[in-house]
Chain A
Amino acid sequence: MNLERVVFGFVIILALTFTFAFVMGDIDNASHHNVWMLTIAILINLIATGLKLGDRSQVGALLLASSLVVDVLLIAARVVWIITENETASGPSPESMANIVSLAGGALLASLVTVVILVGDTLISRR
């Protein structure tokens, strides 16, 4: 067992589940999506990206790339939220909300790719 693998696996799966938790719900209903959940997902994913810095292996490069994609998409979603927060009393309008959740959905997909690569690599190395 390798401590780095445990920590990275934990962080990356946590990031995936938080993103999923944020995306769940009607796409244009602001009350179904919690902005805190989005923020926590961003933070956890940034930590995962940081953990992969310095890995020179091919799989490491791929993991870093996919977690960077997640960062970009989630931060874009958060920025849209900040801009559109005051559109209605209860937060972003349905159109803006759909944009935000779509971006987070894309991030969810990239997160899923990261986890699949991680699991595949672990299964192949069989140590």
Chain B
Amino acid sequence: MAITSELDRVSMVVLRYMRGPIFALIVVYAIGITGMALIPGQDADGNPAHMSLFHAFYFFTFTATTTGFGEIPNEYTDAQRLWAIVCIYMGVVAWLYAIGSIFRLVQNPHFVLALNEHRFARSVRAIKEPFFIVCGFGDTGSLLARGLDDHWMRGVIIDIDPERIKALKLRDYHVDMPGLCADPAVPKHLIDAGVRMPNCRALVILTVDEEINARISTMTRLLNPDLRILCRSSSKQHIAQLNSLGNVTIINPFEIFAQLLSMAITAPRLHNLNGCLVRNPESTLGQPIQVPSGDWIICGYGRMGKWMYRHFVRNGIKPVIIDPKAANIKGAARIINAHASRNSLKAAGIDHAAGIVAGTDNDHANLSILMSVHELKPDAFTILRQNDHANQVAFDAARADLVLQSSLTTARRVLKHLISPQVQIFVDYLRDQGEDICGLAVSRLKSMIGDKPLHLWQVKICVEDASAVVEHLRQCLALSLAELTRNPYDLEDSLQCMSLSIARGEQRIMLPADGELLQLDDELLFCGTEYGERMLAASMNNAYTLDYLVTGEDKPRGYLFRWLDRRGRSAENPA
């Protein structure tokens, strides 16, 4: 219903604007044509003749639009010419009026808005493949859209800021990402964006206002009780409210970063592997960063500071806190109520500090803390919080050991949830297994891929993704992982890909062994290179290649040679 009402609104605005001009045109045409048909003329021989209605209409059409083909069908009499003059002035004025109205209409902001909404709703309805809705196209939203685009996934974007939607239109995405400038908390806009469409996979809420995020979540839950919602939130009150809605994944960038920091302290290898899996350009596979566990100083006890502090305490570190307002913090070594400056850093004991967190919500303050630290204690481990994506260049130049950029952390985590949920399960599994297993996996990946960036992809053993494998398994033939990932150019070698996990129904097989036999509808998570993905896809979809990988011999393909082959075999084993 909402969809048709949008169309009604557009046509209604058009009709209201064009009512006057259309009426004027009809009247002018009627007068002109009737007059022309009634006024007597004469034919080529001078006999009296009336112009037919059709000719009058033809004449008026080309006169009113200032085309002017001349006097047809015969030369006009003076009376006719007099009327023709009237016709010309009437017609031209009426047309100018109509055209002026059209111009005014297309410049009317309400009409443009209605038209944009209509176009947006139409382009969303035309989407056949799975898509995600992104509310809020700020730093995080645009990073997420870029990430979705890298995976050839479609996003539908709503943002209230017209400048952001203009920015979206200028992006060079491979896939079409429709964008609407509207308030995402209005149900009509959510429906236009496709929350009720069956191929909408999830709604990602990333606006800056926690209140609006909560409102969008509630609206969406009412409009579509089954839709998965991912919402950025870092306030306790809103998180509790969101959790009560059900099927909401809450992305708290500060918590995520504190967890990552915890991981860097207790499991540096896994932290490093995780960084490579999410393609953090600062992580190099096999070179984990070493976070020291001496005395720490946290500058700024806001949302991020609190989370960091909690995880430090959990890992047995008692940090000194510098914050103008902080008070009564359990377990802190010391609290210094001051802005972070050279003096307060010295008072906090920077001389014997192992690490510093510059975690205020002001980028400039954080950078100046970092510069003081570089001067006072150059070998301290530094963690820097970046609030604004636009300051990237300055933060790159700052040479901190770890940079938390809330938007980047959020976008990476959302992408991980949307594109490859298995990755997080895999990382959690490795965390439980300990560093040794992780070290083995890393060294195996390293020996296979080298220094190239890790590429992750998921394959399902189904007809669309792996036709040859499905055919092979349906013939009740076994296929192991090692056989599948053999290199068709050299059977001794294997492709640059390694299976991290297999999802089989409810069962999860982590780091499957080479001999693991595949089954129909398995979902495999692979890590490797893009070339490896292409080669594997070729093997999985070409029955002859797959057969060659398993048996090691090139089977005949044509009927004749297959027949000869069968005869030869039955002659060998007459049984």
Question: Do A and B belong to a common assembly?
Answer: yes
A residues apposed to B, CB below 8 Å: 2-5, 7-8, 50-58, 60, 125-127
B543 proximity list for chain A (CB < 8 A): 56-57
Q: Are B544 and A53 in contact (CB under 8 A)?
A: no
B558 proximity list for chain A (CB < 8 A): 4, 8, 50-55, 60
A60 proximity list for chain B (CB < 8 A): 557-558
Q: Are A51 and B560 in contact (CB under 8 A)?
A: yes
Out of A2, A8, A53, A127, which one reaches B559, CB within 8 Å? A53
Minimum CB–CB distance for A78 against chain B, Å:
24
Q: Are B489 and A127 in contact (CB under 8 A)?
A: yes
**A57 and B560 in contact (CB under 8 A), knowing A126-B489, A127-B489?**
no
Complex Cα–Cα for A126 and B554 (A): 12
8 further interface pairs, Cβ-Cβ under 8 Å (given A51-B561, A55-B557): A50-B560, A51-B558, A51-B560, A54-B558, A54-B559, A56-B557, A57-B542, A57-B544
B560 proximity list for chain A (CB < 8 A): 50-51, 53-54
| In the complex, B198 has a CB within 8 A of chain A | no
Out of B488, B557, B559, B562, which one reaches A57, CB within 8 Å? B557
Cβ contacts B531-555/A at 8 Å (1 or 0 each): 0000000000011100010000010
Question: What is the chain A residue whose CB lies nearest that of B561?
Answer: A4
Question: What is the chain B residue whose CB lies nearest that of A55?
Answer: B557
Minimum CB–CB distance for A3 against chain B, Å:
7
B559 proximity list for chain A (CB < 8 A): 53-54
Out of B488, B542, B554, B562, which one reaches A54, CB within 8 Å? B562
Contact-residue bracket for chain B: 10 to 19
Minimum CB–CB distance for B528 against chain A, Å:
21
12 CB < 8 A contacts A-B: A2-B554, A4-B557, A4-B558, A5-B554, A50-B558, A51-B561, A53-B559, A54-B557, A54-B562, A60-B557, A60-B558, A127-B488
Minimum CB–CB distance for B231 against chain A, Å:
46
Complex Cα–Cα for A3 and B556 (A): 8
B544 proximity list for chain A (CB < 8 A): 56-57
Q: What are the 7 tightest A-B residue pairs by CB atom distance, in nearest-first order?
A: A54-B559, A55-B557, A4-B561, A4-B556, A2-B554, A54-B558, A51-B558
Complex Cα–Cα for A124 and B554 (A): 15
A52 proximity list for chain B (CB < 8 A): 558
B562 proximity list for chain A (CB < 8 A): 54
Minimum CB–CB distance for B281 against chain A, Å:
34
For A2, A4, A50, A58, the residue with the greatest tally of chain B CB atoms inside 10 Å of its CB is A4
A55 proximity list for chain B (CB < 8 A): 557-558
Cβ contacts B155-168/A at 8 Å (1 or 0 each): 00000000000000
Complex Cα–Cα for A2 and B565 (A): 12
B554 proximity list for chain A (CB < 8 A): 2, 4-5, 127
